[in-house]
Structure 1
Amino acid sequence: MKIISNTNSKNSLSQLEVFIEQFDQEGQVLAAGNRNQIKIFDFEGRSITIKAFKIPNLVNKIAYKFFRKSKAQRSYEYAQALLSKGILTPHPLAYAIDDKGIFFGASYYFCDYIAADLTYRKLIEEENYPNRTEILKAFTRFTYKMHEQGIHFLDHSPGNTLIVKKESGYDFYLVDLNRMEFGSLDFNTRMENFSRLTPKKEMIDIMATEYAQLGNYDLEETKALMWAKAEAFQEKFWRKKAIKKKLKFWKK
């Protein structure tokens, strides 16, 4: 197992390797999905998270071995890039890849654990959540700053921003970082970047109003395009879900 870390301490690297060896048996489960699993471990007096990526299919085993950076490596490098641009994300510690075999194998991403108060999804589920409108406006300012820094977060979705309440407002931390682009974003791309967040028009209106003010864009044009992008995403999402449901039916 090859570990790339921002620490040169042999003891620290050894401990990270132990975490990998014990990953299936130890640690507190934070998220257990079909593809990836995230666990919390105690490391040098603080809590960290380790994300274990699903071993890829044969094509990607070859691609990640010889042609592309792994999801773990991209997560680590993108986290460093975000922090350098003033965008918060849990502090990256290391990434590890199984580099011994002919094909790419297991991979892991290590970062600090953030005890979030909520994610964006909570704002969708609870319309009466305290200070909901203020949080949405602050989230929009965060997204605008991200866009102005030339960051296109391709997985800008309800569960991928951790929100921490502060005395003076809110901090927003991006997670699930392996799909990201960097460069100037035009207006269409900026509006597209809101499309995955919510199916609720009243939330879109709040964000569009705030974004238009920040960027000095036409308000009605911003509202119309942001909502059109959200509607198009929802239509595509439910169409794909219906197709999968039909395929499962015919497999029975």
Structure 2
Amino acid sequence: MRIITHPKYKESEKALLQLVNAFFSEGNLIVKGSRNTIKSNVLGEEKVNIKYFKRPGALKSVIYSFFRSTKAKRSFNYANYLLKHNIPTPFPIAYMEERSGLGLLGDSYYVSQQIDYDFTIRELIHDPLFPDRNSILEQFAAFTFKMHQANVNFLDHSPGNTLIIKRDAGRYDFYLIDLNRMKFENLSVEARMDNFKKMWLSKTMVKVIAKKYAELSGQPEEKLHKILLEKTLDFKRKITKKKWLKRKLKRK
């Protein structure tokens, strides 16, 4: 097992390896997916999250071993990039990779600090009467603008991947999670609006976000609104059609 830790946690390597070795028998389950599992545990006096990436198949194992960074490594490196550019994300503690004698990737893990958050964007989407909804959306638009200015194209910018903490005086903090799919590039206006499409925004939400983003970027509000609405509706139609086809195939 190869372990890479943040310099602040160098002395905790042994304890981190113990947590990972006991992953399947200890800790509290947060997410159980077909490929990834997330658990919380305690490192010293600190709450941490451990994300387990299941051993890839033969072809992907070769790709991740020799041609592309693993998901665990990307999560760690991308988190460090975000923090360097003042974009909040749970603090990256370490990542581990299990390798065979031939250097092929087996299981891997990413460890980060646990964030005790209040809600995600998902709650706002399903509740038009959510308290302070428009203010949260405006602050979320500003958060995303800051991310774009740092050349971050977060490919999984979806409702559950931004944790939100309510502070005082109507202020909210946003934290990105599930980081392993990102591109770092200069984003055009079209690409910036496209980055919002997975949020599943209503027409009212589109209006609020376009207005705030226009204010920050200096772009015409009407232009941003038109692009964002088109991107959002196209994405919704595509997903709805995909679900309809799946249901139809299941009936056969």
* TM-score with structure 1 setting the length: 0.94
After TM superposition, list the pairs within 5 Å mapping 1:62-73 onto structure 2.
62-73=62-73
Instruction: Answer yes or no: is the 8 Å Cα contact 1:198–1:204 preserved in 2.
Output: no
Instruction: Answer yes or no: is the 8 Å Cα contact 1:53–1:107 preserved in 2.
Output: yes
- Structure 1 residue ranges without an equivalent (≥5): none
Q: Distance in 2 between matches of 1:135 and 1:104?
A: 41
Residue number in structure 2 paired with 1:104: 105
Q: CA deviation at 1:54?
A: 2.4
Name the CA shift for 1:240/1:59 in 2 (closer, same or farther; >3 Å).
farther
DSSP 3-state at the match of 1:105: strand
Residue number in structure 1 paired with 2:45: 45
Q: Distance in 1 between matches of 2:36 and 2:9?
A: 28
Instruction: Answer yes or no: is the 8 Å Cα contact 1:199–1:234 preserved in 2.
Output: no
- The CA deviation string for residues 212-247 of structure 1, in whole angstroms up to 9 with x for no partner, is 111111111111110100111111212222333344
Two-structure CA RMSD over aligned residues (Å): 1.5
Q: How many percent of aligned residue pairs carry the same amino acid?
A: 41
Name the CA shift for 1:137/1:8 in 2 (closer, same or farther; >3 Å).
closer
- The CA deviation string for residues 98-129 of structure 1, in whole angstroms up to 9 with x for no partner, is 11244321110000000010011011112111
Q: Distance in 2 between matches of 1:9 and 1:139?
A: 31
Q: Distance in 1 between matches of 2:22 and 2:240?
A: 39
Q: Distance in 2 between matches of 1:167 and 1:190?
A: 30
Q: Distance in 2 between matches of 1:131 and 1:54?
A: 39
Residue number in structure 1 paired with 2:231: 229
DSSP 3-state at the match of 1:80: helix
Q: Distance in 2 between matches of 1:101 and 1:233?
A: 44
Residue number in structure 1 paired with 2:29: 29
Residue number in structure 2 paired with 1:54: 54
DSSP 3-state at the match of 1:83: helix
Q: Distance in 2 between matches of 1:10 and 1:146?
A: 29
Name the CA shift for 1:10/1:216 in 2 (closer, same or farther; >3 Å).
closer
**Letter of the structure 2 residue corresponding to residue 98 of structure 1:** E
Q: Does 1:216 align with 2:218?
A: yes
Q: Distance in 2 between matches of 1:76 and 1:171?
A: 21
- Structure 2 residue ranges without an equivalent (≥5): none
* TM-score with structure 2 setting the length: 0.94
**Letter of the structure 2 residue corresponding to residue 226 of structure 1:** L
- The CA deviation string for residues 44-70 of structure 1, in whole angstroms up to 9 with x for no partner, is 211000000122222111101111100
How many pairs does the alignment contain?
Answer: 250
Instruction: Answer yes or no: is the 8 Å Cα contact 1:37–1:51 preserved in 2.
Output: yes
DSSP 3-state at the match of 1:68: coil
**Letter of the structure 2 residue corresponding to residue 179 of structure 1:** R
Residue number in structure 1 paired with 2:184: 182
**Letter of the structure 2 residue corresponding to residue 95 of structure 1:** Y
Q: CA deviation at 1:10?
A: 6.8
After TM superposition, list the pairs within 5 Å mapping 1:83-232 onto structure 2.
83-102=83-102, 103-168=104-169, 169-232=171-234
